[in-house]
Structure 1
Amino acid sequence: MSQPVFTVEDLKRILLEGAGADEGVDLDGDILDTDFASLGYESLALLETAGRIEREFGITLDDEVFADNPTPRALVAAVNAQLSGSVAA
């Protein structure tokens, strides 16, 4: 059975579904290394995003996941690391 993969497209979709997008921010642009605050996402929006990721992908994220991974690139890598560690052999 293949292991689920969390992509930047998944992240964009979840961000838009949960919190929308700030005017002037193009999530279709090169956002991988832009911190979430610069993209217009504050703590409540990020909590909602974390909850949606947890429910959709069946994982539990650390409370500090966004502090430790402040950009989309870092968050996608952290979620995928969690997914690969949560798969039973």
Structure 2
Amino acid sequence: MSEREFTLADLKRILFEGAGAEGAALDGDILDTSFDALGYESLALLETGGRIEREYGITLGDSVITDGATPRALVEAVNAQLAVTTTAT
């Protein structure tokens, strides 16, 4: 059984799918840049969380999305949830 990993590229794709061109450019070193500074408000992040949950079959609390104020924090939270889900199956 292969483990699935959530990457920054996955996050960028999902952000673009959800917010389209409305979000800021996601090029460069953005891992530790706040979503606010990247141009993503809370509604866009909640949509992103919903898309991640559906695609990866996990559940993320709203606080994971709103408290994970950077791409790095969100990627780490998703991967932690994926690890728990993989271990439980």
TM-score normalized by structure 2?
0.91
- Matched residue, 1:81: 80
From the two aligned structures, give the one with the greater helix fraction.
Answer: 2
Give unmatched runs, 5+ long, in structure 1: none
Conserved? CA contact 1:15–1:21, under 8 Å: no
Deviations 1:17-51 (A, max 9, x none): 0002447x321211100010110101111111000
Q: Secondary structure at the match of 1:75?
A: helix
Distance (whole Å) between structure 1 residues aligned to residue 78 and residue 15 of structure 2:
15
The number of equivalent residue pairs is 88
Q: Secondary structure at the match of 1:54?
A: helix
Give the percent of matched residue pairs that are identical in Structure 1 and Structure 2: 69
Distance (whole Å) between structure 2 residues aligned to residue 29 and residue 82 of structure 1:
26
- Aligned CA RMSD, in angstroms, stands at 1.4
- Matched residue, 1:50: 49
Conserved? CA contact 2:42–2:66, under 8 Å: no
Instruction: Note the 1:13-28 alignment, pairs <5 A.
Output: 13-22=13-22, 25-28=24-27
